[in-house]
Chains A and B, each alone.
Chain A
Amino acid sequence: MFSSVSRGEPSVTSLGDLAPLAAIFKKQVRHLIRYPGEFIFVLIIPYFLTAMVVAMGNSAGGASAVSNFSVRTGSKLNPFVFLIIGAGVWMISWMVLEGIGTSLRDEQIKGTLEQNFLAPINRFLLLVGTALAQIVITTILFATVIAATVLVLAPGSAAGLVWAFGILMVGLIPLFGIGFVFAALVVRFKEPYAFTQAANVLFAVVTGTFYTVNFLPFWVQVISSAIPQTFVIQDMRLVVESVNSLFGAVGTILVLFTMAVIYPFLGYSFFKLFEKRAKIHGDLSKF
């Protein structure tokens, strides 16, 4: 499906052609662990934000805050667990989208982008290798933020964690597709952080990070339903609350699978469109 479409870009026809993927993956992981201070900070942020919302909620709701929470959200989960699932998924999507979206920009700044584009490998592998490295971040964030919280505050829900991780992984694939769109926009408009920051905070608002999306106006809910994190957060909360709820979430999991097929394809097509334009206008070396 993702074979060569442009002259000079080799196609991926055999397993041997995937060797660069491992090299790109290894390089990306090395870059990630090069700055441990920043990564530790990323692990702390979901805890801080969740604690802040819980403190604010308890202050605002007074003695009935927890019961209000249960009624308003329709969830029996401990509010901290409910909220940290949203915060954890949000932080994961932030890291993934920024990681993929700004990877080309980073290469531009380092002066290695043109060399990479001249390398005899398929461009798709460059993006996929970067995306695959995000699985490492996702797993670490899931374990240290979501799983750790569930095991401490709701140990009875530990079984749901396996399913929750599975849902997260499925949700990661369409997220890669959105990441490709981000990468394309960065190649076109430069200034990656302005774009990714605004998009990531807006994603938090519309995907129900700290509430259920039912509270949002209808037109916002329509937008929410096009973003995979909305379903990931919703379904993860359901299976952590009760594994039996998985059957009720089948519909949205199917939507996630559909997104997992369509979004990467659309994202990469979008990227190729902008890449072609960048090649013609010489944008790849401009920043």
Chain B
Amino acid sequence: MAIFPSSSHLSRLMGEMLAAFIKDVRVYFRYPSLIVSEFITLPAWFVLFAVGVTASFIPSETATSALSGSSAFGFFYWGFVFLIIFSTSIWGVGQYIRTEQLQGTIEQLFVAPISRVSIIFGRFARTFFTDLAIIAYTVLLIGGLGHQQISIGNPLLFALVIAILYLGVLGFGLIFAGITFRIKSFNILSNLTQFLVIGLCGVFFPLTALPGPVRLVSFMIPFTYFADLLRHSASGATTIADPALEVLVALVLGLGLFVVGLLFFKATEKYAQTRGLIGTH
């Protein structure tokens, strides 16, 4: 199974990824206003919803059984962190193909002696670091302005869950990047996907708020377990299933998503090459 067709050596692969990462960092810093906008917009979205709920629906900042034992603020904060990381799959990894199509560089990349998957890894690595920066910055911001403290209950489990989540995000991002070869309305699909994950995976409200049949759909989505475990490892919130079993399930799902993503991307890439659809958008 030749998943990385252009490189058979690990060192060369690492070199490709490093080069792709440096290229993406350079492009990122080329637009400082977008960076400033990102650092304003993302925390502002969080404040909008967190204040909207805590100010209007609950009398005081208390832990509630309805929110799996978390404080309302903590519940929304970890949902926000999950959403930032999940968004990487769409706007970071998934959007890579469309960005290159729009810039008119996609065909040059296809004839370059480097795997497209390596380039995607480069972008993924860049978004990983910018995600961390935004999450840390938001903690400082809400700590300073809102006097809210955020702590991580089980750092080891948290690190494991983050690793599983990123594995799943990368796999899903590759699926999304592959789909981009076939669709024209990238923005509509991206927004819809994001809204569906928010609505179905218990990101900002517990699954118990959903009707029974919809909840069944939620249980079939890997990101439901990733979001649940992220919150559990950080704030000790109760989980859908036994935590140990859920970690195992999440690990299998994360790995599965990653492998499926790689295979799907390679298949759609080949299809686009055969049909001459690489630069079509």
Q: For window 11-69 of chain A, which residues contact chain B by CB distance below 8 Å? A: 37-38, 41, 48, 52-53, 55-62, 65, 68-69
A-side contacts of B187, CB under 8 Å: 38
Q: Is B191 engaged at the interface, CB distance under 8 Å to the other chain?
A: yes
Q: Is B76 engaged at the interface, CB distance under 8 Å to the other chain?
A: yes
Give the distance in Å from the alpha carbon of A59 to the alpha carbon of B209 in the complex.
Answer: 6
Q: Is A191 engaged at the interface, CB distance under 8 Å to the other chain?
A: yes
* Contact sample, A vs B, 16 pairs, CB 8 Å cutoff: A41-B191, A48-B195, A56-B76, A59-B67, A60-B53, A60-B57, A60-B72, A72-B57, A73-B56, A189-B33, A191-B33, A193-B37, A195-B37, A198-B36, A210-B51, A215-B55
Q: For window 44-96 of chain B, which residues contact chain A by CB distance below 8 Å? A: 44-45, 47-49, 51-59, 64-67, 72, 75-76
Give the dominant DSSP class at B's interface. Answer: helix
Known: A194-B31, A201-B40. A61 touches B57 (CB 8 A): yes
Give the distance in Å from the alpha carbon of A71 to the alpha carbon of B57 in the complex.
Answer: 9
Q: Is A211 engaged at the interface, CB distance under 8 Å to the other chain?
A: yes
Give the distance in Å from the alpha carbon of A110 to the alpha carbon of B48 in the complex.
Answer: 35
Known: A201-B41, A205-B44, A205-B48. A52 touches B199 (CB 8 A): yes
Known: A52-B204, A56-B204, A60-B75. A210 touches B56 (CB 8 A): yes
The 4 closest A-B pairs by CB, nearest first: A210-B52, A57-B57, A194-B37, A61-B57
Give the distance in Å from the alpha carbon of A194 to the alpha carbon of B198 in the complex.
Answer: 24
A-side contacts of B248, CB under 8 Å: none
**Quick check: A211 and B51 within 8 Å, CB to CB?**
yes
Q: In this complex, what residue of A is CB-closest to B202? A: A59
Min CB distance A140 to B, Å, is 18
**Quick check: B188 and A201 within 8 Å, CB to CB?**
no
A-side contacts of B191, CB under 8 Å: 41
Known: A194-B31, A194-B36, A197-B41. A58 touches B56 (CB 8 A): no
Min CB distance A190 to B, Å, is 8
**Quick check: A72 and B55 within 8 Å, CB to CB?**
yes
Q: Is A209 engaged at the interface, CB distance under 8 Å to the other chain?
A: yes
B-side contacts of A53, CB under 8 Å: 49, 52-53
Extra contacts, 13 of them, besides A57-B58, A58-B205, A60-B53 (Cβ < 8 A), are A48-B195, A55-B204, A56-B57, A61-B57, A68-B58, A71-B59, A72-B55, A79-B56, A191-B34, A195-B37, A210-B48, A210-B49, A211-B56
Q: Is B279 engaged at the interface, CB distance under 8 Å to the other chain?
A: no
B-side contacts of A62, CB under 8 Å: 64-66
**Quick check: B44 and A38 within 8 Å, CB to CB?**
no
B-side contacts of A189, CB under 8 Å: 33
Known: A52-B204, A60-B54. A194 touches B33 (CB 8 A): yes
**Quick check: B57 and A68 within 8 Å, CB to CB?**
yes
Q: For window 199-252 of chain A, which residues contact chain B by CB distance below 8 Å? A: 201-202, 204-205, 209-211, 215-216
Q: Is B185 engaged at the interface, CB distance under 8 Å to the other chain?
A: yes
Known: A65-B57, A72-B59. A60 touches B45 (CB 8 A): no
Contact of B44 (CB < 8 Å), options: A48, A71, A201, A211: A201
Q: In this complex, what residue of A is CB-closest to B70? A: A60
B-side contacts of A83, CB under 8 Å: 52
Q: In this complex, what residue of A is CB-closest to B51? A: A211
Give the dominant DSSP class at A's interface. Answer: helix
**Quick check: A211 and B52 within 8 Å, CB to CB?**
yes
Q: In this complex, what residue of A is CB-closest to B206? A: A59
A120-161 CB mask vs B (1 if < 8 Å, else 0) is 000000000000000000000000000000000000000000
Q: For window 146-202 of chain B, which residues contact chain A by CB distance below 8 Å? A: 185, 187-188, 191, 195, 198-199
Most A C-beta atoms less than 10 A away, residue of B36, B45, B49, B65: B49
**Quick check: B48 and A201 within 8 Å, CB to CB?**
yes
Q: Is B208 engaged at the interface, CB distance under 8 Å to the other chain?
A: yes
Known: A72-B57, A205-B48. A60 touches B64 (CB 8 A): yes
Min CB distance B199 to A, Å, is 7
A-side contacts of B204, CB under 8 Å: 52, 55-56
Q: In this complex, what residue of B is CB-closest to A62? A: B66
B-side contacts of A69, CB under 8 Å: 56-57
**Quick check: B33 and A195 within 8 Å, CB to CB?**
yes
Q: In this complex, what residue of B is CB-closest to A53? A: B52
Min CB distance A287 to B, Å, is 13
Min CB distance B248 to A, Å, is 27
Give the distance in Å from the alpha carbon of A278 to the alpha carbon of B75 in the complex.
Answer: 48
Give the distance in Å from the alpha carbon of A59 to the alpha carbon of B56 in the complex.
Answer: 12
Min CB distance B183 to A, Å, is 12
Most A C-beta atoms less than 10 A away, residue of B41, B53, B54: B53
Give the distance in Å from the alpha carbon of A37 to the alpha carbon of B184 in the complex.
Answer: 12
Contact of A209 (CB < 8 Å), options: B40, B41, B52: B52
**Quick check: B34 and A194 within 8 Å, CB to CB?**
yes
B-side contacts of A210, CB under 8 Å: 48-49, 51-53, 56
Q: In this complex, what residue of A is CB-closest to B187? A: A38
Give the distance in Å from the alpha carbon of A83 to the alpha carbon of B76 in the complex.
Answer: 18
B-side contacts of A72, CB under 8 Å: 55-57, 59
B-side contacts of A37, CB under 8 Å: 185, 188
Known: A37-B185, A52-B199, A197-B37. A60 touches B67 (CB 8 A): yes
Give the distance in Å from the alpha carbon of A62 to the alpha carbon of B83 in the complex.
Answer: 24
Min CB distance A87 to B, Å, is 10
